[in-house]
Chain A
Amino acid sequence: MIEDIPILSLIILLPFVGALASLMLGRREHLAKWVALAFSAAAFILSLLVTYEFVVDPYSASAGEIDGYSNGYQFYESHVWIESLGINYIVGLDGISLPLFVLTTLLCMLSVIFSWDTDRRPKEYFGLMLVLEVGILGVFVALDYFMFYIFWEIVLIPMYFLIGIWGGPRKDYAAIKFFIYTHIASLAMLLAIMAMYFEANIGTFGMEAIAGESIYFSRGMQLAIFAAMLFGFGVKLPMVPFHTWLPDAHVEAPTAGSVLLAGLLLKMGGYGLIRVAIPSLPSGAEDMVPVMAVIAVASILYGAILCLAQDDLKKMVAYSSISHMGFVLLGYSTLGELGVVAGVFQMFAHGLVTAVLFMMCGVVQHKCGTRLISLLGGLARKMPIAATLIAIGFLASLGLPGLVSFAAEFMVFAAVFFEWGLWIFLPMIAVAVTAAYYLWALQRSMFGPMTGKIDTWHLKDVDWYEGVPVAVLILLIALFGVFPSLVFSRIGPAVEIALRAFGGG
């Protein structure tokens, strides 16, 4: 049944319809959250259905699309769109995009729940959130460069608004910085896409078709295009030294915005690298390996060191994202199956973990009125559940085994050692620093005596709409921490296909 309907298009369309419905509510704006929940939940449920079909019944799900299946894509849809430029509407899902796709629908739904008490312009808020979901979902399923770029850019606008309207005190600065900085990066990617299109000269923007040609590009051309793409995707990732938009955007964004920003938008960068840049430009990627590796290690270390200095809980989490996404790039830079799979998994893991962290920062902000560690202290006594959840989040993020990040980090380290030997110790320093800043923050904010600088008398523990999403995420963190192969086994074959150009890794 499912193979007869364009399920992916449907899932992308659902939040869009939801967004329109939400924006058109008129005066009944209190209904906006229900609309948003309904549509995001519907998208989530359908994406679970897709996952089920993908895993259980791979052949029938791609029936009739022999071509699509050979490249590992399922639910393949292809329609002509702009014939004169060879732009097609192509969507498909493989093992790399599937986890991120489901992560997207999940996090969007949970973010809607988390924002349950939003009373400021709810129509727009939930509408924009759904538009954001459309963009992100589109990026993860698009198999045509033009489409990919369009969805990529669609993401910017709702995010700009989410930061700019519902953000913190410096929202103006943060919103415009986010918008323009990431837009510049997108444009670099756009130039790279153009170059690939014309150099391939086969009159189509289809990713697979171009990849079939681009692997034969001259070395210099591959290098140039890859460099542009690395910049384009790297800013989103974000990689040092193009990361400074991130702390500002994260700190000022509303909680749900931060969750989606860190949980999903950053993943777009990592996804783009492995979906587009690396498989299509093998020689360029090989030439850029030192650059990628150095940047990755720098991001990991630098991000971690910066975290130590932060007094704002959310800013610390933001910088930690830089550090953790560095592992993605580091995994990729090995250009081996092990490292790349680990990098993809790290994206998935980071998406789950960082969502928890940002949600908990939101809870702290919400309940205490501040996120400054120096003002907090001893919260565990008043908010035991919140403290427990935040501690689990921190522990997951610092790579505690049994939780989801560990498998990714371990495999990245393994891949790095396999490739470069003892350089492994450089990124490994960050593991200790990571533990240091998380635990130190935990000590100062949650433990110890109360500082008396905030009103602790009326302090409440988490509300249901805050606790439920976090709890769901933590369950998943534990589940995929104990059974990472649930995801690894999907990523592996897809990455193997993606790395075919490297001669079997």
Chain B
Amino acid sequence: MIPIEYWLVFSSLLFCIGAYGVLTRRNAIVVLMCIEIMLNSANINLVMFSSYHSVLHGVVDPSGYVFTLFTIAIAAAEVAVGLAILLSVYRRYQTIEIDKISILRW
């Protein structure tokens, strides 16, 4: 069995990679993908903790798994809406480079 710390480091790294992408990538689609990575890092955590607690308490704790399923569905919806928004932005700005989209400020 892989020690829990490994999982944690893994998910944290994934989270950081996602966050780094959100902070630095210009293309909005990539940013969207990075957000998905971040959500998935949390999913890994949930699944991992679920099995960890099952082991710890000796009874199956399903809530982590269930949560993950919900999260995946939510992420899908989010991506759908996100893409739609990016589409409408592209119509108005002719770009999806997010640092160009900044008429709203100050």
A and B: direct contact (Cβ < 8 Å)? no
Interface residues of A (CB under 8 A from B): none
Interface residues of B (CB under 8 A from A): none
